[in-house]
Structure 1
């Protein structure tokens, strides 16, 4: 795994250099990812989110079975993100496969990257019981839910900005459904470490946002 003090380009190089011998291919993909995550339409689903997920996984590195595949899934899981579409994960997985075709990864590991990406579509869906890598990825992806109250409200407003083209009454209805679905799940976090640290504050934050929308907005 990569030290959390390194830059994202350095992490990308460390991750992909053993996989792709062609420097131009690695650099071109990094430019494409940078353009996507740095788009002016992004407010939460940016490289900051990618860094935070990578950092969380770094802290749980000893538990990962295939850190290379998990890290690749992190880099690509929000690469194609359009709030008005419901196939972002599938499209991001396809983008990953285009790059992975240039790597020396076995076919099964390339497919595993896509599988992990696509599982981030619905965090409340039933998950395989014995897939620690998947569980850690999902938990790290939702780490933002259990942060401090101030940071959570910043996240909630950033998500609203990404849906700025959606009228407020429609966004309120959709967001409430998302919040209610998360709160209705038996657990938000699948791994003991994340659950013990973040489950309680995450539910507190989600309930606070839900109340805010029920009272008119955030």
Structure 2
């Protein structure tokens, strides 16, 4: 094993961070991280970011302490180092590959083996749509986050059906910033799912669920709708730093709107959301995201009203 850990000296998000790497293989690095409870979300292309309080335990588990300089030299020598200039492109490539794998897994559940090529082509079409250059928030990152939140809800015992997962893939497949985006996405789902052999009943349910994301207001007995809407709105309950990135991305998507008009409109949206008795319709969603979502939105609203830069920027 050649797991290396440098001293914690990188300040971010209220703590100090170290880097955990392998100079042999990413497989070895991921195995070590999983075994020692380092979360997947801490991985950044060629290393895991590790908070200072975890360093002692990881060293006790077998990581080798090295200086930051030695870690970088050995990582470069191994061929695993991703250069700074390449990191954005590499993140996009790996993200698309992960999502293509998710789409393939879903296809094994909902279509016959004989339709593998059409299913794969449809996945490629959807990934291309989610990669359109005008998107700033409604992009591949948002898609993966919604799918991950569905996994989280499922782990908590909420019913996450194949139809709900398909609806996540299609819910912003058409995104032009217009009032009919959800309807057009729903129509696309009905048409394209039928073309690859998905049962008519399933395609109709996916289309219905996609339309629900226009208002995120499912009926109380609509369990599937509640699960999808909670996963889509879960960004509201993210960490303040992630929420700040989300808020800036939303502003970028409305870059054509004058600042005063945007602040007024966005404040109206936030007041409306904060006025709901419950933002999330599932027990798991409320437990996970209700309190942090309200804190995030209240902070953003205060900044909008004060005319200051959003917190978390």
Per-residue CA deviations over 1:73-103 (Å, capped at 9, x if unaligned) read 00000111112x1001000111111211124
Per-residue CA deviations over 1:121-172 (Å, capped at 9, x if unaligned) read 012x3x2212222111111111110111111111000111111111112211
Q: Does 1:78 align with 2:169?
A: no
Q: Does 1:63 align with 2:63?
A: no
From 78, 102, 119, the equivalent of 2:195 is 102
Provide the alpha-carbon RMSD of the alignment.
1.9
From 96, 107, 111, the equivalent of 1:19 is 111
Instruction: Tell me the residue number matched to 2:241.
Output: 150
The count of aligned residue pairs is: 211
Q: Does 1:169 align with 2:249?
A: no
Closer/same/farther in 2, CA of residues 117 and 105 from structure 1, 3 Å limit: same
The farther-off stretch of 162-171 and 17-26 is 17-26
Shift of 1:64: 1.4
In terms of Rg, which structure is larger?
A: 2
What is the CA–CA distance in structure 1 between the aligned matches of 2:142 and 2:269, rounded to whole Å? 19
Matched position secondary structure for 1:60: helix
TM-score, L = length of structure 2: 0.63
What is the CA–CA distance in structure 2 between the aligned matches of 1:136 and 1:10, rounded to whole Å? 22
From 203, 206, 211, the equivalent of 1:118 is 211
Higher strand proportion (structure 1 or 2): 2
Per-residue CA deviations over 1:16-46 (Å, capped at 9, x if unaligned) read 2451533332232222212211122111111
Shift of 1:217: 4.6
TM-score, L = length of structure 1: 0.90
Map 1:172-183 onto structure 2 (within 5 A). 172-183=263-274
Instruction: Tell me the residue number matched to 2:9.
Output: none
What is the CA–CA distance in structure 2 between the aligned matches of 1:204 and 1:195, rounded to whole Å? 13
